[in-house]
Structure 1
Amino acid sequence: MLALAGCVGAPDGADGDAPSAALADLVISGGTIYDGTGREAFVGDVAITDGRIVSVGPEATGRRTVDATGLAVAPGFINTHSWATESLIEDPRGMSDLKQGVTTEVFGEGWSMGPLTADMRASERRAQADIKFDIPWTTLGDYLTHMEERGTGLNVASFVGASTVRMHVLGEDDVNPDAAQLQEMQALVRQAMNEGALGVGSALIYAPGNYADTAELTALASAAAACDGRYISHIRSEGSGILPALDELIAISRGSGAPGIVYHLKQSGRSNWDKQAAVLERIEEARASGLDISATMYNYPASSTGLEAAMPLWVQEGGDEAWIARLQEPGVRERVAEEMRDPAGFAEGDNRLIEAGGGKGVLLVNFRNPDLRHLQGKTLEEVAAMRRQPVEETAIDLVVEDKSRVGVVYFLMSEENVTRQVSLPWMSFGSDAGAPATEPPFTNTGTHPRAYGNIARLLGKYVREEQALPLTQAVHQLTGFAARQMGFSDRGTLTPGLAADVTIFDPQTIGDRATFATPHQYSVGVRDVFVNGTAVLRGGEPTGETPGQFVKGAGAGRCPA
């Protein structure tokens, strides 16, 4: 049996120096403990008092006992790449991730919920669709504190977005900062770090993030590194230019002193699948040289973003409203369509439409305009045929008609490459999605199945079914390693003194159910989840409790701007 294979008695020192005889608030008894360190699993008890773990291993007594016999007991899973920034405002339970055992959401790929100018706040409000909310905060720390104070079922943490910092100082034009402006941007990073940001996150295939050069990014990463922060990036290319893009991240890490993390490592486009070996070799060489380089991934052969990833960046300068206005100019429209057809890609980077093999590899999943939602679930090629026009012109029209980027799924990656990556010891797992529920407003639009199944898919498909990696290692990558990668010091393993984020699941049944055709389906196999010692999932059902905390980076309170 895979579930409990290799289990042994509690290892020496499993409970540290904590006494096991004291009456705990809660004892999780008799489970098979995967403590997140990567060591062999063992049967024992986990005792919790005041939201902290007090003992692990020996038999313990508590005011309340939860029997976990025959189940796996692990640290709460960490979603290292989350977009639950808005879904948790609408529904603080975080249902799709809660049902997978996630206890901490990490935000900040390029854009973050602060710092915001008045204009940025107004633009954010105009862009809201089904989920509408006030924006009483200005800084990133204010947002995360707001989430904790209003109540969230899951912990929240964030990088400060390099694009957000750039927009705060420079707007959305393709310009370089002068010395004074760069210092202002660095001061914003230091302010966010002092509030508790984990580091700086960039997204370099999108405007305006792509307009930043390596020197600018190194300067921002240096400001974060001085406060023990990380640099994490959606690198400039994941296709034909992936090796130079990876070299840039490594150079930024070396130049700034910040650990470097690659968001959703992948090789996009069939012609680039064979680059995986060179990519992994480049990362291993950097690690061997002493740099702390690692990555995140989602466990699917398709990505999801908007139709902007199928259009050149020059047309997107100035923000979404300027982009949509330009697309309505006949001369611009013709030039954009022509560049979209060029198999060589764009001068500034990847063309997702070409990499997906054309419109048949682009699935439409999310429209802002209710009048276009009947097209959700169709491919771009199918809609183009319905409209009797080329796919490039259809994409342009849909953006204009929806007044949005239009959410799509691009089928880009090799399943074999995904399987090879899941067992890399320096890999964590991020959904790159929100945490929706199987009810409105979330079901008004489609989504990528990774929003409901990324972690459960790892433990079901890749651990149990394909045996691509052992369960002990997978739990370590989801917890102890992920915590270290993100810079968390107070959670991530079942260790006395750490926060009691705990997941109880059945290794024999855990798995994803969401598909590209029917994505709004919860994963199965997780029974109980505790966040800071409080049950948020009991018997597979949410309790409605909101004990989630703002998990701060190492620079909090000691990195003044």
Structure 2
Amino acid sequence: MIVKLRFFIGVALTFILFYSCSIPVRYDVLIKNGRIYDGSGNKSFVADIGINSDTIAFIGKIENAKAEVEIDANGLAVAPGFINMLSWAMESLIEDGKSQSDIRQGVTLEIFGEGLSMGPWTEKMKREEKEHQGDIKFNIEWTTLDEYLEFMVKKGVSTNVASFVGATTLRIHTVGYDDRPPTETELDSMRTLVRQAMEKGALGIGSSLIYAPAFYSSTEELIEICKEAAKYDGMYISHLRSEGNRLLESVDELIRISKESGIRAEIYHLKAAGKSNWFKLDSVIDKVDKARNEGLQITADMYNYTAAATDLNACMPPWVQEGGYKNWVKRLKEPGIRQKVIQEMKTSADDWENFYYAAGSSENIILVGFKNDSLKHLTGKTLAEVAEMRKKTPEETVIDLVIEDGSAVGAVYFLMSKENVEKQIALSWVSFGSDARSLASEGIFLKSSTHPRAYGNFARLLGKFVNGEKIIPLEEAIRKLTTLPATNLNPTWLLCPKKS
């Protein structure tokens, strides 16, 4: 069941617990004898749970009650539904609303909007979206973000959904794909779009600053649009401008945006990318802790793997991508530009995020997402393998694949250290997001591959890092999957329960 954001207090966040002194004679659902992890981080306890409609009516010892559905949870853990702080299921849920890869891991709320959101769109943006659709095809029956959510309500999906309005989407809507600052009129238009989205239930503003055209946004531009979201108690959440060579400067930028706009801020998928940058994580933690101690509300989320996933556009400088995909490909076909791009791919850079260089080797890049059916046989192969098959250099292969596929081509990059992943999991202010679509091991989803985080991010946390390596106790893990992200998104989403 999907509900609009204003109703999430009672529906999406099932850990909002209501205690009652009187026990109804009958419940819709009765869960007996389970060990309850309530999301507070406090010690678990054994109790019964009575549920009526979409409300937890009672928690405690329940005697002589009847229910339409009764579950004996003896020996089992019972917890609130998990929040996926970074979901890319906007399109996959249109194809298959069951959300199997997430809901089977315990996720009941999907959060969208990392830079791109499903509105507000112009007619031109709708046409471009249709042109870029891959295996999943759908008609665009909406213009604004809230209209998209209403579309999903009518369609019906198994999880709850909410979304940030994308800073990239706002920029394309008003400025287009050009590398230039917005005019004052354009900036006013962006402010208006933010206000409209926030009034219709957007969570705040989401940015993704390593990609064109988001890369072209200045800090000042982001501060201005965040000021509008802050008026509605929204959040700013960001894929930092750099997670590698300029990681520390990028954390400073996020903190500055929070401070100057008066908005809560979160770092998407916290990481130090590239072996030469792994040591920087301690400094990142120090910066965030200092900001929090000064009264700023700075948090982060993460996925529990040492490999990242994005597209091959992260291998190329933003200047060659200016103007959108068609202009990007047109430039890549020019021999002089092609050679310049190849040289920049092989060079460490501070002014853009070079995932190709950060990966250290073409063997550390796996190709997972193709639009062109003639290239799908390459799915799952490393870039090194495909380059060898084609008798080309890895750099040439990247360029050729982007041209041939009609898309930016999905890829997995091995960039992070296990030690840093474990250190991040233990941080009290870090929650979790898959950074993946919601999939199923059937149907159209079998046409492409994905990062294992789509099927395993939350299960891996509980199985490997909690039960196995005991990085944090289960009570703390459940808090970081439920109440922490909920109150980060909106401090009013958690109501203190009253014990009977």
TM-score, normalising length: structure 2: 0.94
Aligned position for 2:328: 323
Aligned position for 2:198: 193
Aligned position for 2:458: 455
Specify every segment of 5 or more residues in structure 2 that has no aligned partner in the other structure, as ranges. 1-16
1:490 to 1:251, Cα distance in 2 relative to 1, 3 A: closer
* Residue-by-residue CA offset, 1:30-69 (whole Å, 9 max, x unaligned): 1000011111100001111121111112325242211111
Structure 1: distance between partners of 2:233 and 2:240 = 21
Query: For 2:305, what is the secondary structure of its paired residue?
Result: coil
Q: CA deviation at 1:19?
A: 2.4
Map 1:24-39 → 2, pairs under 5 A: 24-39=27-42
Aligned position for 1:205: 210
Pick aligned residue for 2:393 from 390, 393, 407: 390
Q: CA deviation at 1:15?
A: 5.8
Are 2:332 and 1:337 equivalent residues in the alignment? no
Aligned position for 1:538: none
Aligned position for 1:294: 299
Aligned position for 1:184: 189
One-letter amino acid of the counterpart of residue 198, structure 2? M
One-letter amino acid of the counterpart of residue 445, structure 2? F
Query: For 2:79, what is the secondary structure of its paired residue?
Result: strand
Pick aligned residue for 1:416 from 395, 415, 419: 419
Structure 2: distance between partners of 1:350 and 1:128 = 26
Structure 2: distance between partners of 1:253 and 1:299 = 26
Structure 1: distance between partners of 2:18 and 2:370 = 51
Instruction: Tell whether the 8 Å contact from 2:487 to 2:493 is kept in structure 1 after alignment.
Output: no
Give RMSD over aligned pairs.
Answer: 1.5
The percentage of counterpart residues that share the same residue type is: 50
One-letter amino acid of the counterpart of residue 237, structure 2? I
Which has the larger displacement, 318-327 or 413-422? 318-327
Instruction: Tell whether the 8 Å contact from 1:15 to 1:58 is kept in structure 2 after alignment.
Output: no
Structure 2: distance between partners of 1:73 and 1:148 = 27
Aligned position for 2:227: 222
Instruction: Tell whether the 8 Å contact from 1:35 to 1:494 is kept in structure 2 after alignment.
Output: no
Q: CA deviation at 1:18?
A: 4.6
Instruction: Tell whether the 8 Å contact from 1:56 to 1:496 is kept in structure 2 after alignment.
Output: no
One-letter amino acid of the counterpart of residue 460, structure 2? R
Aligned position for 1:52: 55
Pick aligned residue for 1:151 from 156, 159, 162: 156
Structure 1: distance between partners of 2:379 and 2:496 = 43
1:432 to 1:233, Cα distance in 2 relative to 1, 3 A: same
Are 2:473 and 1:473 equivalent residues in the alignment? no
Query: For 1:66, what is the secondary structure of its paired residue?
Result: strand
Are 2:244 and 1:251 equivalent residues in the alignment? no
One-letter amino acid of the counterpart of residue 63, structure 1? A
Are 2:117 and 1:112 equivalent residues in the alignment? yes
Map 1:76-91 → 2, pairs under 5 A: 76-91=81-96
Structure 2: distance between partners of 1:276 and 1:490 = 30
Instruction: Tell whether the 8 Å contact from 1:47 to 1:62 is kept in structure 2 after alignment.
Output: no
* Residue-by-residue CA offset, 1:91-126 (whole Å, 9 max, x unaligned): 000010011011000000000000000000010011
Structure 1: distance between partners of 2:39 and 2:492 = 13
Instruction: Tell whether the 8 Å contact from 1:52 to 1:496 is kept in structure 2 after alignment.
Output: no
Aligned position for 1:485: 488
Instruction: Tell whether the 8 Å contact from 2:47 to 2:60 is kept in structure 1 after alignment.
Output: yes
Structure 2: distance between partners of 1:353 and 1:30 = 52
Structure 1: distance between partners of 2:221 and 2:498 = 42
* Residue-by-residue CA offset, 1:385-419 (whole Å, 9 max, x unaligned): 22222111110001001011010000000011001
One-letter amino acid of the counterpart of residue 290, structure 2? E
Query: For 1:26, what is the secondary structure of its paired residue?
Result: strand
Which has the larger displacement, 422-431 or 379-388? 379-388
Structure 2: distance between partners of 1:18 and 1:82 = 39
Write 1 or 2 for the structure with the bigger share of helix: 2
Query: For 1:485, what is the secondary structure of its paired residue?
Result: helix
Structure 1: distance between partners of 2:465 and 2:486 = 22
Query: For 2:367, what is the secondary structure of its paired residue?
Result: strand
TM-score, normalising length: structure 1: 0.84
Are 2:369 and 1:366 equivalent residues in the alignment? yes
Map 1:235-246 → 2, pairs under 5 A: 235-246=240-251
Query: For 1:75, what is the secondary structure of its paired residue?
Result: coil
Aligned position for 2:445: 442
Q: CA deviation at 1:17?
A: 3.9
Specify every segment of 5 or more residues in structure 1 that has no aligned partner in the other structure, as ranges. 1-13, 498-561
Instruction: Tell whether the 8 Å contact from 1:56 to 1:494 is kept in structure 2 after alignment.
Output: no
Aligned position for 1:23: 26
Query: For 1:441, what is the secondary structure of its paired residue?
Result: helix
Are 2:94 and 1:124 equivalent residues in the alignment? no
Instruction: Tell whether the 8 Å contact from 2:117 to 2:164 is kept in structure 1 after alignment.
Output: yes
Q: CA deviation at 1:373?
A: 1.2
One-letter amino acid of the counterpart of residue 195, structure 1? K
Count of matched residue positions in the alignment of Structure 1 and Structure 2? 481
Q: CA deviation at 1:368?
A: 0.8
Structure 2: distance between partners of 1:18 and 1:194 = 37
Instruction: Tell whether the 8 Å contact from 1:75 to 1:494 is kept in structure 2 after alignment.
Output: no
Q: CA deviation at 1:366?
A: 1.1
Which has the larger displacement, 216-225 or 384-393? 384-393
